[in-house]
Amino acid sequence: MSSTETRTVAPATGKLGILTPGLGAVATTFMAGVESVRRGLSKPVGSLTQMATIRLGKRTENRSPLIKEFVPLANLEDIVFGAWDPIPDDAYTAAKKAGVLEDKDLEPLKDFLSAIKPMPAAFENHYVTRIHGTNVKTGKTKRDVAEQLRQDIRDFKAKNGLDRVVIVWCASTEIYIKPGAAHATIDAFEKAMDANDEQIAPSMLYAYAAIMEGVPFANGAPNLSADVPALVQLANDRGVPISGKDFKTGQTWMKTVIAPGLKARMLGLAGWYSTNILGNRDGEVLDDPASFKTKEESKLSVLHTILQPEKYPELYKDFSHVVRINYYPPRGDNKEGWDNIDIVGWMGYPMQIKVNFLCRDSILAAPIVLDLALFSDFAQRAGMKGIQEWLSFYYKSPMAAPGLQPEHDLFIQQTKLKNTLRHLMGEEQITHLGLEYYQS
């Protein structure tokens, strides 16, 4: 297909169901925010699908529609929410406990949020040691549990008269699992589910169930989930878009903004020390070293791929990179991050950059959940399948084809995202060459 050929994108008719494994801080802030926007009480700040424009054609053409007017995305009015969680709290109670939103924003939405009750989760304490839930599925094998998840998806769709469903993982970070033999092929994966193999984490059961039901799956946490050969193959075979991993918010987002700037100017890096304090449940889960290891791997990879020390050894060889997350309950969801960046300039002179980011984790993550849900649904209607690399804009550890370095630079990711939309809608790519404006 040429870059300007239009694909037939099926229209976004009917209702779209968004299911989240996990009904904690991020998921409830997302759901409350969408409802608040629908009622005209808030603006969807932070969401490209709702607020960003996209330039089309030459600068002289003055064509810059909103993305949502350019590509056929589901309307917020057509979204229906559902969730799974081992903790039985409804979305209102969970949001209250998460403490992200203030009562003035939460109380007007109480009826709406109270009606969202989590389905029993595919959950095992072994994979998330700090959570003790009662709302949990039972089954003889992991395959049984996956089949129950599939049934949940079908029931949710039928009960709500939905046209389409997408799943965005908003549940806790699981312990670190290395991709292995159980994940290598679809056959091995299914056998491992039958054998209750420890290598099959609950998040993989959701990913498997989603793909089997033809439901796009986006993974907001760093655990592997769909990022194993078996499930990538399954997604390709069944024509289902998948993406992940780990929402790019807070400190890592900031890293992928600053590091490309240093590299663009050929400034060196001696070290980057990042530390965080946070006191939400996510922080508590990450206080467990096994869950933190999954997160650490996800956070550490970005600088190397952006700075390419193998290409620029004089500037970036052996820089030291340390990431810490400390659970500190008084802060709740209002994380504070400090970055100390030791950079090196002309004639080797050292300089320092200090960043003190007082962010709100779930406030940054919620619009990402919305965009991933709407873009994943759009991708499916546009006939896209398998890994959606153009969504790496939203992730700390983007999934990429085997052997391909994922792209971490936020601005390259943004260009890729917008060019993919142009490509799918039959518009010219924008190269920013612009010589034509100067030719007489």
26 binding ligand NAD? (CB under 6 A) = yes
Q: Smallest distance, Å, CB 185 to ligand NAD? A: 24
What's 128's DSSP letter? Answer: S
92 binds ligand NAD (CB under 6 A): no
In DSSP terms, which residues pair with 327 in a beta bridge? 278
Residue 370 engages ligand NAD in binding (rule: CB under 6 A): no
For ligand NAD, the closer of residues 17 and 220 by Cβ is 220
Q: Tell me the closest approach of the beta carbon of residue 403 to ligand NAD, in angstroms.
A: 26
The yes or no reply on residue 337 touching ligand NAD (CB under 6 A) is no
Q: Examine residue 362 and tell whether it contacts ligand NAD (CB under 6 A).
A: yes
Q: Which one of 19, 25, 207, 224 is in contact with ligand NAD (CB under 6 A)?
A: 25
Residue span binding ligand NAD (CB under 6 A) among the ranges 120-128, 157-165, 236-244, 314-322:
120-128
Determine contact, residues 363/257, Cβ cutoff 8 Å: no
90: contact with ligand NAD by CB under 6 A: no
Stretch that binds ligand NAD, among 31-39, 274-282, 323-331, 346-354 (CB under 6 A): 274-282
The answer for residues whose C-beta is within 8 angstroms of residue 175's C-beta and 6 or more apart is 126, 127, 128, 129, 201, 223, 288, 290, 291, 293, 294
Q: Which of these, 294, 367, 392, lies nearest to 42 by C-alpha position?
A: 367
Query: CA 153 → CA 63, 81, 244, distances in Å?
Result: 40, 12, 20
Residues 237-256 that bind ligand NAD (CB under 6 A): 246-247, 249-250
Beta carbon nearer to ligand NAD, 94 or 387: 94
- Binding test (CB under 6 A) with ligand NAD, winner from 98, 177, 226, 277: 98
Q: How far is the CB of 362 from ligand NAD (least distance, A)?
A: 5
What tokens were used for 95?
């949001």
Q: How far is the CB of 112 from ligand NAD (least distance, A)?
A: 19
Q: From CA 172, how far away is CA 24, in angstroms rounded? A: 9
Closest separation in Å from C-beta 34 to ligand NAD: 15
Q: Which of 131, 137, 140 is nearest to 94 (CA)?
A: 131
Asked if 409 is part of the footprint of ligand NAD (rule: CB under 6 A), the reply reads no
- The angle at the Cα of 60, spanning 55 to 66, to the nearest 5 degrees, equals 25
Contact flag: residue 21 with ligand NAD (CB under 6 A): yes
Q: Is 37 in the site for ligand NAD (CB under 6 A)?
A: no
Residue 165: phi and psi, rounded to 5, are -135, 145
Tell me the site size for ligand NAD, rule CB under 6 A.
37
Any idea what the Cα angle at residue 332 is, between residues 30 and 254, rounded to 5°?
A: 70
DSSP letters of 207-244? HHHHHHTT--EEE-SSS-TT-SHHHHHHHHHHT-EEEE
* Binding of ligand NAD by 87 (CB under 6 A): yes
- Contact between 226 and ligand NAD per CB under 6 A: no
- Per the CB < 8 A criterion, the answer to whether 59 and 437 are in contact is yes
Residue 168 binds to ligand NAD (criterion: CB under 6 A): no
Residue of 377, 390, 416, 385 lying closest to 78 (CA atoms): 377
Pairing outcome for strands 241-244 and 268-278: unpaired
Which range of residues in 6-14, 169-177, 257-265, 339-347 is near ligand NAD by CB under 6 A? 169-177
Interface with ligand NAD (CB under 6 A), residue from 19, 122, 165, 192: 122
Query: Which neighbouring-strand residues pair with 272?
Result: 321, 341
Among 70, 123, 189, 319, binds ligand NAD (CB under 6 A): 123
Q: Write down the least CB distance from residue 223 to ligand NAD, Å.
A: 8
- Residue 421 binds to ligand NAD (criterion: CB under 6 A): no
Preceding peptide of 245 cis, ω within 30°: yes
Which residues in 176-205 contact ligand NAD (CB under 6 A)?
A: 202
Q: Where are the alpha helices (DSSP H) in 54-102?
A: 67-70, 91-98
Contact residues: ligand NAD, CB under 6 A: 21-27, 84-87, 98, 121-123, 128, 131, 133, 170-173, 202, 220-221, 246-247, 249-250, 280-282, 285, 361-362, 364-365
